A and B are shown apart, each in its own frame.
Chain A
């Protein structure tokens, strides 16, 4: 690295969105040549805390790992504990789990699409999408009693049942959501603002995606057709048909399209669930203490493969519980997409969309950025307005 390299620290404060992280960008001119990442600012010690709580008490705790894709964690946790007992749960409960999981995915992807609109400077899209996201939140509230933290899945099944009134409400809501999502898909595909900020930005080649263990929509946007729901079907996914969405442009645009198309797939999956859900009980009672065993459970969270590991020791509390959320797997490929290499140049102006491209948790727009000139030892601070101005100039220049 030459003397002209300047370090640009971004983070760790994230006033608007969750998950603070700290990136240090080494830049030469406008080119990012190296990225250092430091996480752990939101490390809550949940894995340690879970060892001191019973299996049932851990359900609300595990849900609080992530505010957006909480269903992925509760479903993964409860099925992991059920693996320890080696007892099947009622089929109706498995369908209900898929139902709530897909509703959660719709909400998560719409939330993300709104954030993308915000990051590329398309505020109208942000407002529109978040308005429509309220529709799916209302459906989740009708089914579970809560909008966000619903703790719907429990050990042995689900906590509530679906009634015909709620089913009717969900069908009506889905029609509206489908119409709106199709409209957003058309908008994203032709809008010049989005295309200028997303085409050929943040390339992750398929080889890199495999080597760096990318997961979820990020991996599928690099033209790899892999999805836990298809490769390792859990709950009722062995019966519910869906298409794995993959795009081959490997850029930020592909990441938008994968998520928009997945929202449409999820809407169809929810409809299939409503049409084919079997009758019967929604929960079996399991004893408080599982046998001594270990188990690995995986689900496809909105952000990708979510894997949990549990080891029991014959008491009513787990001996070890490990959670690997998808964002932590996507960190290494994210660093790769943000580094200029070979024929791919990455610029300072791309930082916000690249961070947003993985996950809304990491978006870095809401702060001033401090620049330090290594060679002169000079420091100065840019406000968000100045940073945005610099970005809009760069878009025109490129």
Chain B
């Protein structure tokens, strides 16, 4: 099975970022997983959307990886789904917002902010999106330290 498109996309990103491209994986046809540093996340996404024809962002989400939170953007174009991943420290989970490149990601970033506490710098309005109005501030339910058992029993109303 030839993986020409996947590899040419990876090479284009590599020639743009150079050594700052930390990891490249092609696990199966039409899938490409890239890992970059937090500082390169936005310019890599901008380059891929505007110069490389990967102009559809399927979603932006996050995953708890212990001391860090992985922020992942899924870009689609040229028949390949590209996962662009960047790790941010849990103590200071800040990453630039992609809303000025692709306005359609507004709600995805608000959701990730609600559930993981990732702060997207430059987002026009990171208001609460999915969690209830009376949810306590600073509690992020999809982080590993949050246990489902906390939900059992009546919740205190402030």
Interface residues of A (CB under 8 A from B): 37-40, 43, 45, 47-49, 52, 83, 86, 210-214, 226, 231-232, 293-296, 298, 305, 307, 309, 311, 319-320, 322, 324, 328-329, 331-333
Contacts and interface: CB of A to CB of B under 8 A. Distances in A.
A226 B55 CA distance: 13
A311 B85 CA distance: 13
Interface in B141-158: 141-142, 146, 148, 151
Contact of B102 (A45, A213, A296, A320): A213
B131 A333 contact: no
B64 A40 contact: no
A309 B27 contact: no
Contact of B130 (A40, A296, A311): A40
Nearest to A84: B27
The prevalent SS among residues of B at the interface is mixed
20 contacts: A37-B107, A43-B130, A43-B131, A45-B151, A47-B142, A52-B148, A86-B27, A213-B57, A231-B76, A231-B79, A293-B27, A295-B31, A307-B74, A309-B63, A309-B74, A324-B58, A328-B111, A329-B104, A332-B106, A333-B104
Given A47-B142, A332-B106, A311 B59 contact: no
User: Which of under 10, 10 to 19, 20 to 34, or 35 or more describes the interface residues of B?
Assistant: 35 or more
Interface string B84-112: 00000000000000000011111110010
Contacts of A296: 31, 74, 81, 83
B107 A331 contact: yes
Given A40-B132, A232-B30, A48 B148 contact: yes
Contact of B59 (A39, A52, A307, A320): A307
Given A309-B72, A322-B61, A324-B59, A86 B28 contact: yes
A319 B63 contact: yes
A232 B63 contact: no
A54 to B, nearest CB: 15
A328 B115 CA distance: 15
B19 to A, nearest CB: 23
A83 B27 contact: yes
B139 to A, nearest CB: 13
Contact of B141 (A48, A52, A293): A48
Given A40-B129, A45-B141, A213 B64 contact: no
B56 interface: yes
Nearest to A322: B61
B29 to A, nearest CB: 9
Nearest to B115: A47
Contacts of A38: 129
A208 to B, nearest CB: 9
Given A307-B58, A320-B63, A324-B58, A213 B79 contact: no
B129 A332 contact: no
A45 B131 CA distance: 10
A212 B58 contact: no
Contact of A232 (B55, B79, B105, B115): B79
Contacts of B27: 83, 86, 293, 295
A213 B105 contact: yes
Nearest to B63: A320
Contacts of B61: 309, 322, 324
Among A211, A213, A226, A307, max chain B CB count under 10 A is at A213
Contacts of A39: 129-130
